[in-house]
Structure 1
């Protein structure tokens, strides 16, 4: 029988970390602007990365070893040290991007346990954020050797929706390992000839010296492309291409194929029953798109803040209708862009995610009440300005009927030159969406941690909008969402 006292042990080790009188390691981060003290024995036994680093560093005159990690933020490294010493990682109120960056840092410091736990956490609880930032996530994880679970998560999406990666502007910067991980899958939902086209496009982009016109290519040019694609070419299903596809697409690049393979491809087209020497890969499976009838699951609500009735009311206001829309004739789809509980509550997150989006509705659930307030912006949010008031006659702010709130309040912009502000880059640290009489603000970089969100509450007639939407000015929030309003197609 063993008695375990991990809580006390963790507490004592954290106290050791915070004791600045007995350290022999200094770690400098954030371009050497911040530094942390630590103990070499703990670092070495908790991280193979630190073991190697410390063995290769000579101590200074104070018998202290200095490690420089300029690219790591102080906030991230503080979490790393808390884990190394106490086995504690408190992620409450941490936004999704921070969790992702912490996972990358944990991998860099070879903290396998923490890396795996954060990877699983992102997949299980931050799926919406991962999809919103899909291209960034995809390129960054395939630049590393680990993160197999995240790679599978992303590839399971790409095999169904290849355009996410293949039609992206940065497709040709894709890592070779990422491309191979896709084209070798049997369930890749794309025509084989298109896979060939994309592989050729990727291969050519890796060598800037290849002539633009294929007719100008030399034997050496084809050899260069063959070398570049040597790991990709075996995964093409050549024997499942039509004769026309072989003639139009494969034949122009036949010099990058092994002679036996090219001979077998042609033989198979003429006499498919005859055996060939080359390996014939199975055809890619096509997923069944129509499922047999079954009991429908209850439809997941599109919002955690408002109902379909609220969406109908907001749609009525957008179109300036005198007769309200019903649930059966709402002309718009509310497409989620941001949700605080998934993406985080930092003001900068709003500008990063909502940048460039037009026709958006901001919805805020006020802390401690039943109130739902918000605003509609028909123009684009722009994070790259020096701070500029935007003019429109179609913007409005509102409070929605909910719980103890008996009636909705609509307040249209009256001073159209000051409908909303695209906040300057420096201001985005504290300020989120900013309508003339309603804005979201936080000194703590988290809208839920202070009471600095604001709605004009006096009815003096001096506001930018027609009337107040709250009876008191300052408040905190428990959640907020931003939706893009898209007209439904008939």
Structure 2
């Protein structure tokens, strides 16, 4: 005998059926009931069921979860997988989320965790407007004057001048958010990870320097071939290439602090069987399992820095003698010469479905 006032008889009956049969049919269950079942499973320490129910909601009831993300974020903070999905969805499609009335009910800690993320795709002015509305909703009778002492004088004066005298405040250009990228292959969350790799940091942080990704080449627009790549991407500016391959969800890419082929490059050049190699200590290549996955990722940093980039005539780009190499419409990922760490090595020759190159510009 035990007392579990949080678990209704109906939900407990479902759990008993699962315990005795090992089967659970959720196809006719309301999402609200599945959340109730999730709480009960957690209380009864059925860990495998807690994981399964979160996965089911994310994969099979995606629309419902997104529409009720504020409720889930506020009430289900202990379920990390569900929380992470709601946070990432809110950041990927920020405008509808921020402008919804329900978002004004967000708990302050949840709101802070969203606003501090680098992959939040929203204009700064919209974020400020939302924060004001949220504060008013959370604090009835809120007024600005009692907070004069904590607002910088020039901002307080500009606010008064605008509302009482109609004087427009001076324009303030805010820096780009870290990781904003106009790509058909990767999302901002991937760009944030890549920035941390560039900075040789392991975790996301809002204190990283801001970067701009400037698109200079896209295969579907410019043609997937060696000449198009070289003509669009020549130069010695730090660059990122990302590739989606046919017949797989995998995404490959590489970062070169010296560019890919640099006519007139003044960096140290060493001949490699008659073809120039370029020196870099900071280059790396990487892969993501798919566009939704930021956990199963691999990175290989350059080991032999004198051969970080090879400028070969029939390659679009070549990281370290074939560690990551474009040849016509094919992508080779092998490390037979040991120029990079041996984390991505494969004998598969992929066909390039889409390819993009970005200049990576550190904003002041």
TM-score (norm 1): 0.33
TM-score (norm 2): 0.44
